């Protein structure tokens, strides 16, 4: 009897020692992992030791906190704003990709996450109460199953002021409750969404593009503000970070990223060589080529495609701003906000570029990086039902330029 008791004690001691050894080895592995820089090593670790489910609970708690207040009204009182459905930590010197989308067009986030390796901020517009609820479900599903969403994406929600969004009810299965991977979430969204032009919503609600842009770039120093159905060239974030880290001379400079559009979006060009080949055969053309050629012409595409190939991203040439140029650019410092009186379609980006010029910013075109819009923008199927609002914005733009003269009385520049 005494011998049996001694054997049991020895067994439990051995078991306890084994458990302590396993715990120590796991802590040692975590310590070694922190010194590894490759994504491959981290992926291998998480295959064996998945992240704690508490991280998903934190996402849900964050959603609940963002939604519980009922949001805040924008300056016009027409829209309700929910900041920080998802949050990401921002390095003050980082470059954030800021974009905006209707709920259906969130489908494009997958491509942006693949190409842009840095932080990303998206403002989502829900035109109806049902869309607002879908947006919260999507935020929960994407952040629960997509590590990149948790690590790199900030998400904000805007809806008409008469609606309020709510936390998804865990007792209600819904269409996304049974999904178990990031790809499954995007696949499901592809089946239920009807992606199209952000502001062609089929409702009486105007798409508040400039409110969404300001919200997406809020809190960032350097930002590249783009449309959600555009894709940046491979390595653009890395190139921008290296260039900005090496020098502090870019204050007061708008670094222009040339924008193109591709006929078929099956395979997006990754680098300049691929882009130029498609450009030469007519599969790629300057952005807005079929709608507003002067809106992008100052970029000087013929000069850009003939620049000598270089390995480092840098400004290649200076372009004086002229109306109605509306370039996509990276800039930091005291960048003017987008005027939120402009909604729907027309003059919403031109007005901000005009003020950037009046505020003293210079425009320099980058040599290698670029953006590509998915599909050609054609006049016949582009926003035919919103001509009245376009005319309203045209009148507002004339008024806006007069306001800038009073705002910058000492500026020798004019729009």
| CA-based torsion, 305, 306, 310, 316: positive or negative | negative
Mark residue 202 as left, alpha or beta (left: phi above 0; alpha: psi -120 to 50; beta: remaining): left
Report H helices in 309-409: 348-358, 387-407
Buried b (16+ CB within 10 A) or exposed e, 146-183: bebbbebbbbbbbbbeebebebbeeeeeeebeebeebe
In three-state secondary structure terms, 303 is: helix
Q: How do strand 153-160 and strand 371-374 relate by DSSP bridges?
A: unpaired
- Partnered with residue 80 across adjacent β-strands are 73, 159
HSE toward the beta carbon, residue 3, CA cutoff 13 A: 0
Contacts of 280 (CB under 8 A, 6+ apart): none
pLDDT value at position 90? 78
Q: How do strand 120-125 and strand 230-232 relate by DSSP bridges?
A: unpaired
Is the omega angle on the peptide bond into residue 324 within 30 degrees of 0, that is, cis? yes
State pLDDT tens for residues 320-351. 999 999 999 999 889 999 999 999 888 999 99
Say if CB 302 and CB 365 are below 8 A apart: no
Q: Which residue, 153, 136, 8, is CA-closest to 65?
A: 136
Say if CB 368 and CB 313 are below 8 A apart: yes
DSSP code, position 153: E
Report H helices in 206-322: 209-217, 236-246, 272-280, 301-305
HSE toward the beta carbon, residue 61, CA cutoff 13 A: 6
State pLDDT tens for residues 30-60. 444 444 433 443 343 333 333 444 366 777 7
How are strands ordered across the β-sheet holding 371-374?
230-232, 371-374, 259-262, 284-286
HSE toward the beta carbon, residue 415, CA cutoff 13 A: 26
Q: In Å, what is the CA distance from 28 to each residue of 34, 39, 65, 98, 313? A: 10, 19, 36, 39, 40
pLDDT value at position 25? 60
pLDDT value at position 59? 74
What values do phi and psi take at 355, rounded to 5? -70, -35
Give per-10-residue mean pLDDT for the chain (415 aa): 57 64 57 44 37 59 86 96 90 92 93 96 95 89 88 95 81 66 90 65 80 96 96 97 88 96 91 96 96 95 96 96 97 95 93 97 97 86 64 94 96 93
């Amino acid at each position: 009897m005494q011998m049996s008791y001694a054997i049991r004690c020895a067994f439990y001691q051995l078991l306890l020692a084994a458990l302590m050894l396993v715990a120590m080895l796991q802590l040692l592995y975590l310590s070694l992992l922190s010194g590894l820089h490759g994504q491959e090593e981290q992926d291998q670790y998480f295959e064996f030791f998945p992240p704690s489910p508490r991280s998903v609970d934190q996402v849900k708690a964050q959603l609940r906190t963002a939604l519980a207040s009922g949001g805040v009204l924008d300056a016009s009182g027409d829209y309700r704003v929910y900041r920080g459905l998802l949050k990401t930590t921002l390095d003050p010197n980082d470059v954030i990709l800021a974009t905006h989308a209707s709920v259906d067009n969130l489908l494009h986030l997958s491509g942006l996450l693949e190409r842009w390796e840095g932080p990303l901020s998206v403002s989502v517009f829900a035109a109806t109460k049902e869309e607002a609820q879908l947006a919260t479900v999507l935020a929960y599903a994407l952040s629960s199953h997509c590590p990149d969403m948790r690590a790199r994406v900030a998400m904000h929600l805007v809806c008409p002021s008469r609606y309020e969004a709510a936390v998804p009810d865990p007792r209600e299965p819904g269409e996304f409750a049974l999904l178990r991977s990031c790809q499954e979430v995007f696949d499901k969204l592809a089946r239920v969404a009807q992606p199209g032009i952000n502001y062609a919503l089929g409702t009486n609600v105007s798409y508040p593009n400039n409110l969404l842009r300001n919200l997406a770039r809020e809190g960032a120093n350097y930002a590249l503000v783009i449309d959600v159905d555009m894709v940046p060239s491979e390595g653009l974030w890395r190139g921008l970070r290296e260039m900005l880290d090496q020098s502090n001379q870019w204050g007061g400079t708008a670094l222009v990223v040339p924008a193109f559009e591709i006929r078929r979006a099956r395979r997006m060009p990754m680098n300049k060589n691929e882009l130029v080949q498609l450009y030469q055969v007519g599969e790629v053309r300057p952005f807005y080529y079929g709608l507003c050629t002067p809106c992008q012409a100052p970029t000087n595409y013929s000069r850009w495609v003939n620049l000598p190939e270089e390995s480092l991203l840098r400004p290649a040439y200076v372009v004086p701003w002229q109306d109605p140029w509306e370039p996509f650019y990276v800039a930091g410092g005291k960048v003017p906000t987008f005027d939120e009186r402009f909604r729907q379609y027309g003059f919403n980006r031109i007005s901000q570029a005009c003020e950037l010029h009046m505020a003293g910013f210079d425009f320099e075109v980058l040599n290698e990086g670029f953006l590509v819009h998915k599909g050609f923008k054609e006049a016949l199927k582009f926003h035919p039902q919103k001509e009245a609002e376009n005319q309203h914005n045209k009148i507002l733009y004339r008024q806006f330029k007069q306001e800038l003269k009073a705002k910058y009385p000492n500026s020798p520049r004019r729009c």
